[in-house]
């Protein structure tokens, strides 16, 4: 049994598959699903801190990226610190994701052969989710492109199995 947690911008998707002897796999629908938590929740929290601190000013996506990189932002000659807000937000979002996963997986997750972490949010939330899984998560390399790479590999494998259909 192998699990994948894919933390995306708007949602976190999770799937569990049972590997077969021939190398194929069977998805376990009861152990798979979506959590309405993702990177967008972190962006929302950063925006809220900025609005509260500045008296209502809005923050662009590019400036949110600056905040995530530097954990502060200059505003009218002063420095607005975001490190505590970022840490608290990540902790809260990770807890919401893992609570849902634990609710669906229950003790089943203790028996998984591997649990992989992917998606653009995988990098952002890894250190906050790892403790909930006894530090067993394996981060997928190029995690932001994991879906695209997976679909490409699946497409290649399927195209090699079936003869090409003629167009026309």
pLDDT tens per residue across span 134-154:
999 999 876 556 666 665 665
Mean of the per-residue pLDDT values for the chain? 89
Q: Using a pLDDT cut of 70, give the percent of the chain over it.
A: 84
Cβ atoms of 63 and 73 within 8 Å: the answer is yes
Average pLDDT over residues 23-44: 93
Q: What is the model's pLDDT at position 66?
A: 96
The total of other beta-carbon atoms located within 10 Å of residue 139's CB is: 13
**Per-residue pLDDT tens over the stretch 82-113:** 999 999 999 999 999 999 999 999 989 999 99
The total of other beta-carbon atoms located within 10 Å of residue 121's CB is: 30
Cβ atoms of 100 and 111 within 8 Å: the answer is no
Q: What is the model's pLDDT at position 156?
A: 61
Average pLDDT over residues 38-47: 97
Structure tokens at 93: 């979002």
Cβ atoms of 126 and 146 within 8 Å: the answer is no
**CA–CA gap between residue 39 and residue 68 (Å, rounded):** 11
Domains defined for the chain, CATH in brackets: 1-168 (3.30.420.40)
For the ranges 14-23, 109-118, 158-167, which has the lowest average pLDDT?
158-167
Q: What is the model's pLDDT at position 53?
A: 95
**CA–CA gap between residue 39 and residue 119 (Å, rounded):** 10
Q: Does 116 have pLDDT greater than 90?
A: yes
């Amino acid at each position: 049994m192998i699990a994948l947690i894919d933390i995306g911008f708007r949602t976190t998707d999770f799937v569990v598959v049972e590997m077969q002897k021939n190398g194929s796999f069977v998805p376990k629908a009861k152990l798979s699903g979506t959590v309405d938590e993702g990177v967008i929740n972190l962006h929302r929290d950063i925006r809220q801190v900025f609005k509260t601190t500045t008296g209502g000013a809005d923050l662009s996506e590019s400036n949110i990226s600056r905040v995530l990189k530097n954990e502060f932002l200059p505003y009218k000659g002063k420095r607005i610190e975001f490190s505590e807000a970022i840490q608290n937000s990540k902790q809260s979002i990770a807890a919401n994701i893992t609570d849902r996963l634990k609710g669906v997986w229950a003790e089943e997750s203790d028996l998984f052969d591997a649990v992989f972490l992917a998606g653009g949010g995988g990098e952002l939330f890894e250190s906050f989710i790892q403790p909930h899984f006894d530090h067993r998560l394996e981060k997928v390399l190029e995690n932001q492109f994991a879906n695209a790479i997976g679909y490409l590999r699946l497409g290649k494998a399927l195209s090699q199995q079936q003869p090409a259909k003629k167009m026309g």
